[in-house]
Amino acid sequence: MTSAVQAAIRPIAWVDGRVRLIDQTLLPHREVWLELSDYREVVAAIKEMRIRGAPAIGVAGAYAVAIAAAELMVTHPGDFANQLEKAASEIGDARPTGANLAWAVDRMLHTARTSESPATVVEALATEAMAIQDEDEDANRAMGRHGAQLLPQGGAILTHCNAGSLATGGFGTALGIIMTAWEDGRISKVIATETRPFLQGARLTAWELTKGGVDASLIADSAAGHMMQTGAVQAVVTGADRIAANGDVANKIGTYSLAVLAKENGIPFYVAAPTSTLDLDLPSGRDIVIEYRSPDELTELNGERVAADGIDAINPAFDVTPHRYVTAIVTEKGVVRKPYGSGLRNTVEGTVG
Ligand code: MRU
């Protein structure tokens, strides 16, 4: 039997100048790997959520820049730098809320600008994108170690959306902590919210948990309050898509409600994210751009209309949890507690272990 930690997959890889990724819109019933050789296809895959989860989107964006560079070196050798900046801005705009995409694209552009010569830039960019993925996986494993120790012995842990290996370069943020704690024998059960409307919990987190042999149950999003009130949850762990300088957290829609419910019920609420998700230039979560997605995600199920004809639908994909509801933020560099303003900055600067 595969252990919880061994079950983690890498959802994306660089193979001979192409991006190979598992199509997350088809999971859990079909495991289909796509091979993309044009950066525009990678942009489309990000927009359509074939690859999703803030850190995984960052890795995909980095590989997209590497693919674009190889193409532009042939088609626009004289205007390579300008054309690469244009392609990078198209890639960086694919989804707005997660911080990791812009962070990864900026890092790739920095590599391009500082590359020794046109002859080496394409190779340097591929190497940089692979480094971004490797570092993300290493960060997640470190977060797993830091975060597992926070969880109550024998407790049941609620998680939201999918912050597992699928959402990252590998291993997972919130789910990486949960898998580590499960493997350590520290926790007794995992409760996964289905995560309407895209069902990342029901389709993806449930897939990862069952593959890892974890004792887990799925609940409707609206059952979370009841579960907390009746003592069925001892801690909540979620991921994050962007964290502002004051510790406000943008994450999958519904996270804010869970955090308020956790506080009301005296349950710790932990957030796990690599430092690449921190956006310390943003003073607070009020400034985070929230992505609104197609109403069809809400009104249809598997392409079949379920909502009454003629009804409008509003589909914000993320919300912002004010920092006062967050018990601690787990990063690869350690666990940060309030006050987050100084704590997050010291963490990024490496002055806190
Ligand atoms: O819209 P998605 O599926 O890309 O949402 C992002 C997420 O997976 C979650 O919000 C997650 O907690 C942060 S990414 C590890």
Q: SS3 sequence, the chain? A: CCCCCCCCCCCEEEECCEEEEECCCCCCCCCCEEEECCHHHHHHHHHCCCCCCHHHHHHHHHHHHHHHHHHHHHHCHHHHHHHHHHHHHHHHCCCCCCHHHHHHHHHHHHHHHCCCCHHHHHHHHHHHHHHHHHHHHHHHHHHHHHHHCCCCCCEEEEECCCCEHHHCCCCECHHHHHHHHHHCCCEEEEEEECCCCCCHHHHHHHHHHHHCCCCEEEECHHHHHHHHHCCCCCEEEECCCEEECCCCEEEECCHHHHHHHHHHCCCCEEEECCHHHEECCCCCHHHCCCCECCCHHHHEECCEECCCCCCCCCCECEEEECHHHCCEEEECCEEECCCHHHHHHHHHCCCCC
Residues 259 and 186 in one domain: yes
pLDDT at site 217: 98
In a domain, 72, yes or no: yes
Determine the structural domain holding residue 187 and report its residue range: 141-348
pTM for the predicted model, two decimal places: 0.96
Rounded Cα distance, 215 and 230, in Å: 19
The CATH number covering residue 86 comes to 1.20.120.420
pLDDT at site 353: 45
Q: Decide if 131 contacts 164 (C-beta within 8 A).
A: no
C-alpha closest to that of 169 among 100, 227, 264, 106: 100
Other CB atoms within a 10 A radius of the CB of residue 21 amount to 24
Q: Which of 22, 52, 298 for mutating ligand 1's site (highest number of atoms within 8 Å of CB)? A: 52
Interval between CA 113 and ligand 1 midpoint (Å):
30
Residue of minimum CA distance from atom 5 in ligand 1: 53
Q: Which of 162, 194, 221 for mutating ligand 1's site (highest number of atoms within 8 Å of CB)? A: 162
Residues 248 and 156 in one domain: yes
Interval between CA 282 and ligand 1 midpoint (Å):
19
Interval between CA 112 and ligand 1 midpoint (Å):
28
99 Cβ closer than 6 Å to some ligand 1 atom: no
In a domain, 1, yes or no: no
Interval between CA 116 and ligand 1 midpoint (Å):
36
pLDDT at site 27: 98
Query: For this structure, is 309 an active site residue?
Result: no
Rounded Cα distance, 179 and 48, in Å: 28
Q: Decide if 191 contacts 232 (C-beta within 8 A).
A: yes
Which of 241, 248, 279, 319 is the catalytic position?
241
In a domain, 308, yes or no: yes
pLDDT at site 350: 80
Q: Among residues 97, 120, 140, which one ends one of the domains?
A: 140
Q: Decide if 113 contacts 125 (C-beta within 8 A).
A: no
Residues 221 and 105 in one domain: no
Residues 344 and 303 in one domain: yes
Residue of minimum CA distance from atom 8 in ligand 1: 53
238 Cβ closer than 6 Å to some ligand 1 atom: yes
Q: Decide if 191 contacts 223 (C-beta within 8 A).
A: no
Q: Among residues 110, 140, 170, which one ends one of the domains?
A: 140
Residue of minimum CA distance from atom 10 in ligand 1: 252
Residues 330 and 211 in one domain: yes
The total of structural domains in the chain comes to 2
pLDDT at site 1: 60
195 Cβ closer than 6 Å to some ligand 1 atom: no
pLDDT at site 204: 98
Locate the ligand 1 atom nearest the alpha carbon of residue 95 and give its number: 4
Q: Among residues 114, 140, 166, which one ends one of the domains?
A: 140
Q: Which of 165, 175, 200, 318 for mutating ligand 1's site (highest number of atoms within 8 Å of CB)? A: 200
Locate the ligand 1 atom nearest the alpha carbon of residue 291 and give its number: 1
C-alpha distances out from residue 348 to 71, 167, 351, Å: 35, 22, 8
pLDDT at site 116: 76
Residues 43 and 136 in one domain: yes
Rounded Cα distance, 244 and 286, in Å: 9
Residues 36 and 125 in one domain: yes
The CATH number covering residue 154 comes to 3.40.50.10470
Other CB atoms within a 10 A radius of the CB of residue 244 amount to 25
Residue of minimum CA distance from atom 9 in ligand 1: 252
pLDDT at site 352: 55
State the 10-residue block means of pLDDT for the chain, 353 residues long: 80 97 97 98 98 98 97 92 97 98 98 87 97 98 98 98 98 98 98 98 98 97 98 98 98 98 98 98 97 97 95 98 98 97 92 54
Interval between CA 118 and ligand 1 midpoint (Å):
36
Q: Which of 161, 242, 258, 276 for mutating ligand 1's site (highest number of atoms within 8 Å of CB)? A: 161
